[in-house]
Amino acid sequence: MFTPRARAAGIVAALTVVTAACGAAPSTQQTTQASQGGVNAATATSAADFGGLDKLVEAAKKEGALHVIALPPDWANYGEIIEKFQTKYGIKIESETPDAASADEINAVKTRKGQDRAPDVLDLGQSFAISGAAEGLFAPYKVQTFDKIPEGQKEPTGLWVNDYGGYVSIGCDAKKIKTCPASFADLLKPEYKGQVAMNGNPTESGSAFAGVYAAAIASGGSFDDIQPGIDFFKKLKEAGNYNPVETTPATIENGETKISIDWDYNNAAYAPQLTAKGIDWKVNVPSDGKYFQMYAQAINKDAPHPAAARLWQEYLYSDEGQNLYLKGFARPVLLPAMTAAGTVDQALAANLPAVDGEPAFPTTAQVDAAKAKLAAGWDTAISG
């Protein structure tokens, strides 16, 4: 059983979850499907290796399936993205354990090697993408739009590539909270006693990890120093304001999590859905802790459906796929290039939560150091 990913699920009807019995036999599918028309799909590093995108589509259709994990339908609009891909290519997507965490995805790659139920592709918090690449878990692949993706937003050989991102935000039930917090400093106020939740455990969840990083920036820390963020949550707990319940749309609806630290695209996507249930969900990007982070795509180097995995990447980084992320209030990595080319959906772009200034990004070394510091100190801070 996977632990929750801290990716919300529950408002949009869940996709069919396909699970297999433990101890499934090793896959014979990978060997038979790896070679398509003389092309070894498992080692292809671009669509050109197949003879072009049309030939990649043919190879993927022959495989007929794609196995994904940890993609909640209401996270960055993945529900619609999956439906559109299936309709466009006639390839069945098996979506397993939507609420799994980034750490669970990595674990699935390791423990299911050689099995049909191994994930073909992964959608990971950046720190997990970096560590997974260092462990040799991913296959290098450059989508056709690879050169348009900014430097620093991709591993040079395509072992991982950022796909969409957002700012850490504070969501608030404005009908139950008199004054919604607009900063991390606000969250320490006594009127928020027992109210402040997060979307997961920061040692496992990319969104919660970012929440601690944002709190560090708000508390005098930096990309080089996440400790003030850990200390902030310790203070939040000591004040009685920290709520350990993991936020989902269901916990918001039933009043368990009236305030939630989460990505702005999640909080923004909840708002119109919750309005129909009588909840006024407000979203603020904290004024004292602006932190932006991208999620990253990667292909399992032992993917049971290697051609379909590569076609999935091509779809996500096409104008269609990137605009579908935008429809889910996420900021696609190709937004600057698409804006310049005139291919971005302007109406969708106008719906993004407003943020002043340009985002800054931590380096790989900074993320690794922050992750290690958090792993060593989080449990003590929250349980102490």
HEC letters along the chain = CCCECCCCCCCCCCCCECCCCCCCCECCHHHHHHEECCEEHHHCCCHHHHCCHHHHHHHHHHHCEEEEECCCCCCCCHHHHHHHHHHHHCCEEEEECCCECHHHHHHHHHHCCCECCCCCEEEEEHHHHHHHHHCCCEECCCCCCHHHCCCCCECCCCCCEEEEEEEEEEEEECCCCCCCCCCHHHHCCHHHCCCEEECCCCCCCHHHHHHHHHHHHHCCCECCECHHHHHHHHHHHHCCCECCCCCCHHHHHCCCCCEEEEEHHHHHHHHHHHHCCCCCEEEECCCCCCCEEEEEEEEECCCCCHHHHHHHHHHHCCHHHHHHHHHCCCEECCHHHHHHHCCCCHHHHHCCCCCCCCCCCCCHHHHHHHHHHHHHHHHHHHHC
List, for residues 69-95, the tens digit of each pLDDT value: 999 998 999 999 999 999 999 999 999
Note the pLDDT of residue 295: 94
pLDDT, average across residues 47-73: 97
Note the pLDDT of residue 204: 86
Residue 158 and residue 233 in one domain: no
Q: Higher confidence at residue 23 or residue 135?
A: 135
The total domain count for the chain is 2
Distance CA(196)–CA(260), nearest Å, equals 6
Residue 302 and residue 216 in one domain: no
Query: Would the pLDDT of 120 be above 60?
Result: yes
List, for residues 327-380, the tens digit of each pLDDT value: 999 999 999 999 999 999 999 999 998 888 778 888 888 988 999 999 999 999
The CATH number of residue 230's host domain is 3.40.190.10
Query: Would the pLDDT of 8 be above 90?
Result: no
- Report the relative pairing of strands 196-198 and 35-36 from DSSP bridges: unpaired
Please state which of the ranges 9-13, 134-138, 271-275 shows the lowest mean pLDDT: 9-13
List, for residues 231-241, the tens digit of each pLDDT value: 999 999 999 99
CB 7 within 8 A of CB 269: no
Residue 318 and residue 378 in one domain: no
Banded model confidence at residue 36, pLDDT cuts 50, 70, 90: low
Residue 108 and residue 68 in one domain: yes
Inside any domain, residue 124:
yes
Q: Report percent pLDDT > 90 for the chain.
A: 80
Half-sphere exposure of 21 (CA within 13 A, CB side): 3
Residue 378 and residue 249 in one domain: yes
Residue 312 and residue 375 in one domain: no
Q: Higher confidence at residue 355 or residue 115?
A: 115
Mean pLDDT, all residues of the chain: 90
Inside any domain, residue 13:
no
Residue 278 and residue 203 in one domain: yes
Q: Higher confidence at residue 175 or residue 367?
A: 175
pLDDT, average across residues 49-62: 98
Residue 307 and residue 159 in one domain: yes
Inside any domain, residue 196:
yes
Please state which of the ranges 264-268, 310-314, 354-358 shows the lowest mean pLDDT: 354-358
Query: Would the pLDDT of 190 be above 70?
Result: yes
Inside any domain, residue 115:
yes
Residue 150 and residue 198 in one domain: no
Residue 335 and residue 198 in one domain: no
Note the pLDDT of residue 13: 30
Note the pLDDT of residue 31: 43
Note the pLDDT of residue 18: 35
Inside any domain, residue 72:
yes
Note the pLDDT of residue 38: 76
Inside any domain, residue 238:
yes
What is the residue range of 324's domain? 43-165+293-350
Inside any domain, residue 355:
no
Inside any domain, residue 367:
yes
Residue 287 and residue 178 in one domain: yes
Residue 192 and residue 230 in one domain: yes
